[in-house]
Chains A and B, each alone.
Chain A
Amino acid sequence: MNHAIETQQLHYRAGKTFEIKHLDLHVAPGSIYGFLGPNGSGKTTTIRLVLGLVRPLAGRITVLGCDVPRDAPRVLARVGYVPEQPHLDPTLTVRETLRFQAAFYATWDWPCAERLRRQFELDEPMAFGHLSKGQKGKLMTLLALAQRPELLVLDEPTDGLDPVVRRDILSALLDYVSERHATVFVSSHLVHELERICDWIGVMDNGRLVIELPMERFKNGIKRLRVAGAPPRVAGPPFVLLARERANGAVETWIVREWEPEMARYFESIGASLRDVIDLDLEEGFVELLRTFRVLRP
C-alpha cells in the first residue's frame, strides 16, 4: 500500500540539544492521522521536514508518492498546509489574499472559497493584519481547503482559539474529508479534539516516535488495573506492563497496554485478584504512555 506520508529513519539535528532520530512515520491514504506530543517534542519540525521546508541529515521522505525535498514544489501543489503561526502579508485584504493564493494553485476552487468565506464570516475588505486570531486561523484553513488538496497537513490548527472557532474549523475540515476522501495529518496537543476525529495516532516525545497505531487500539488498549495480592516480581504477563504503583493498603495500580478481557485469568494464576479495570481516555492514556516511555529511556 502506498502511504500518503512515509518517512524512513529520518534524522535531523538543530543546535546542540534538539535531535530527531530514527523517525519511521506511516500515514495511510484516506485516514485522519493525529500527531500527538508535548511541546518541544519535534512535531513542528517533523512537519517542516515532511513538506521539504527543512532538509534532513539522513533518511527518506515520501509524500503522495514523490520524494521530498527533491520534488517538493510538485508535491506542494497537492498538499494543503496550515502552519502554526499566521504567515501571510498583513497588508493584503481577505479578497487580495485569496487572489494571491489562487494564482499559485491550478486546483483552486473559487465557488468553494467563496462558500467557506461566507461560512467563516470573513469580510472581503478586512486586512489580514487586522484580523483576530480566530479569524486568521479560519482564513488559513480556508486557503488550504479551497485548494482541494489530496493531503492536508495541519500544525496545531486550533491552538489558542476559542471553542466556537475550533468547532467551525473542525466541521469545515470534516466536511471536506467526507467529500474528497483526503488524507489528514494533524498535529496537536489538544488531545480531546484528536480523540473524536482521528483513526490513527502517532505519539512523539523528545524527537522520537514513541508509538504509532490505530486509535481504537490505543484507546481500548491502555487500562488502569486495581490488583491485590500480587507478588513483587511477575514474569511474562500476557499484556504489556507499563507501570506498577503501590498506594496505601494492599491494592496496587497497574498501568497496562494491549489489554484483553480474557487476561483477567492471569491474575488467578499468580495468586492475585483483579479488583477493577478502569478505562483511560486518550489524554490519560497519553500521559501514562509518556511517563513510562521517559522512565525507560532517560
Chain B
Amino acid sequence: MFGVMLYGQWKWSRLIIVLATVAGFALPIISVQGAAQSELSPLRVEELLDAVQKWGVLYPVLAAALGLLVAITTWAPDHRGRHVHALSLPLPRWRYVLLRFSSGAVLLAAPALAVLAGSLLATGTATIPPGLQGYPVALALRFALAVVVAYAVFFAVSAGTARTAGVILGLIGGVILVQIIANVANLNLDLFDRLQILVLNWPGPLAIFTGRWMLIDV
C-alpha cells in the first residue's frame, strides 16, 4: 500500500522536489562565494558574514515553501469531486492519513540531503578565516527539522476542507513570495521576521524558524 501511495505522491510533487533539491544544494554554495581566497582582510570577513547571513534568510523560506507545497500535493488527489475516494478504501482513516504523511515525508529527504551535501561542499572548498567556524551539519539538520515542522503543520491544515486549506495556504504562499522577492532585490524588508515575531513568539517547534541561519559563524 505504501508503495502505490509513494508512487502517486511522486507523480504529484516531483517538480517541487527536484527544484527544491537543486535550490537546497546551490544555496550554501552561493552563500559562501568570495571566500575562496587564501587571505581575507577584516573587511572581507565582514562581507562574508554579511553574505552568509543574507542568503541564510532563504533557508527558512525554502523550508516553509517546501513543506507547504508538498503538503498541498499530498492531499490534492483526495480533494476532488464530492466523494473522497479514501473514505471507501478498506482501511481505518488514521492509517490512511499515516500513509499519506509518510509518503510525503520520504520525498522530503531529498532536498534535506541536498542542503547537507551543499553545505559540506561549501565549507570544504571555501577558506574559512581564522576565528570563524563552519557549521554544515548543524545547518542541514536545522533545515531538515524546519521542513518537517512546516510539512506537518501544513499537512494538518490541508487535511481539512479543500477551501479553507486553500485560502490559508494561499495567504502564506503570498507572504513567502513577497519575502523572496524582497530578498533577491536586496531590500531590507524583513517581512518574515516581523511575522515571525507576531506568530512565532511562543516557544515550540515553530521557533526553529526564528533567528539567523549561519553556515559560517563565530
Contact = CB atoms under 8 A, between A and B. Distances in A.
Interface of A: 51, 53, 73-77, 81, 83-92, 96, 99-100, 103-105
Contact of B1 (A74, A96, A104): A104
A47 to B, nearest CB: 10
Contact of A103 (B1, B77, B88): B1
19 contacts: A83-B88, A85-B81, A85-B83, A87-B81, A87-B85, A88-B85, A89-B8, A89-B85, A91-B11, A91-B77, A92-B8, A92-B11, A96-B11, A99-B4, A99-B7, A103-B3, A103-B4, A104-B1, A104-B89
A51 B85 contact: no
B161 to A, nearest CB: 16
Nearest to B3: A103
B8 A84 contact: no
A83 B81 CA distance: 11
A96 B127 CA distance: 50
A87 B91 contact: no
B8 A100 contact: yes
Contacts, number: 55
A105 B88 CA distance: 12
Closest 7 CB pairs of A and B: A77-B90, A89-B77, A76-B90, A87-B83, A103-B4, A100-B4, A87-B85
Main secondary structure, interface of A, reads loop
Interface string B74-87: 00010011111101
A53 to B, nearest CB: 5
Contacts of B87: 53
A75 B92 CA distance: 11
Contacts of B1: 103-104
Given A77-B90, A96-B8, 6 more contacts: A81-B88, A83-B88, A87-B82, A87-B83, A91-B77, A100-B8
B90 A90 contact: no
A63 to B, nearest CB: 12
Nearest to B91: A73
A51 B90 CA distance: 11
Interface in B76-113: 77, 80-85, 87-92
A157 to B, nearest CB: 14
A49 to B, nearest CB: 13
B90 A83 contact: no
Interface string B1-23: 10110011001100000000000
A86 B81 CA distance: 8
Contact of B88 (A53, A74, A86, A91): A53
A250 B3 CA distance: 75
Contacts of A103: 1, 3-4
Nearest to A86: B81
Contacts of A92: 8, 11
Contacts of B83: 53, 83-85, 87
A73 B84 contact: no
Nearest to B88: A81
Contact of A73 (B77, B82, B92): B92
A81 B87 CA distance: 11
A103 B11 CA distance: 17
A87 B90 contact: no
A75 B88 CA distance: 10
Contact of B91 (A85, A90, A100, A104): A104
A220 B87 CA distance: 40
B1 to A, nearest CB: 5
